[in-house]
Amino acid sequence: MTDQNVTPDAAEAQVRDLAEIPAVEVITRAAIMLMSAAAEKIGLSHENPDNSPHRDLDEARRLITALAGLVTASAEYLGPHAGPVRDGLKGLQLAFREASAAPDEPGQGPGEKYTGPVW
């Protein structure tokens, strides 16, 4: 995944930089990116989420489900980050349920096949 404008030396430096980042940090960064994108798609960054131009609950469902899979699969590695990441996931799941015109049944919402029902 190199850009045509990136020299081979710069590309090698990027790979070295990634190699030096601990796995827990890569996982946490990925989780934060998924959380941020899901929040945008729910409309949470907008003054009135129902009128957000970025609101797309189908996309939010996909992002939340991906986040739930990541969190479930990596919880044992997250150490002290596990609690806040799980709380963020649960908050997004609840916000999704609230934003939905016809909320899913408990256990059927985004990511709940990984986390269990969210109330």
pTM attached to this predicted model: 0.83
For residue 72, is it within any domain?
Answer: yes
For 11-57, write each residue's pLDDT tens digit: 777 776 888 999 999 999 999 999 999 999 999 999 898 889 999 99
Question: Which domain does 45 fall in, by range?
Answer: 22-114
**Could you give phi then psi for residue 115, rounded to 5 degrees?**
-100, -15
**Could you give phi then psi for residue 63, rounded to 5 degrees?**
-65, -45
3-state secondary structure of 98: helix
Query: Looking up tokens 């940090």, which residue turns up?
Result: 25
For residue 38, is it within any domain?
Answer: yes
Confidence of residue 2 (pLDDT cuts 50, 70, 90): very low
The interaxial angle of helices 23-42 and 57-74, nearest 10 deg, is: 160
For residue 32, is it within any domain?
Answer: yes
> What local confidence, expressed as pLDDT, does residue 3 receive?
56
Say how many domains are in the chain: 1
For residue 17, is it within any domain?
Answer: no
Asked if 86 and 75 count as a contact pair (C-beta separation under 8 A), the reply is yes
For residue 15, is it within any domain?
Answer: no
Chain mean position to CA 23: 17
Please give the average per-residue pLDDT across 58-70, as a whole number: 98
Q: Could you count the other beta carbons within 10 Å of the beta carbon of residue 99? A: 18
For residue 11, is it within any domain?
Answer: no
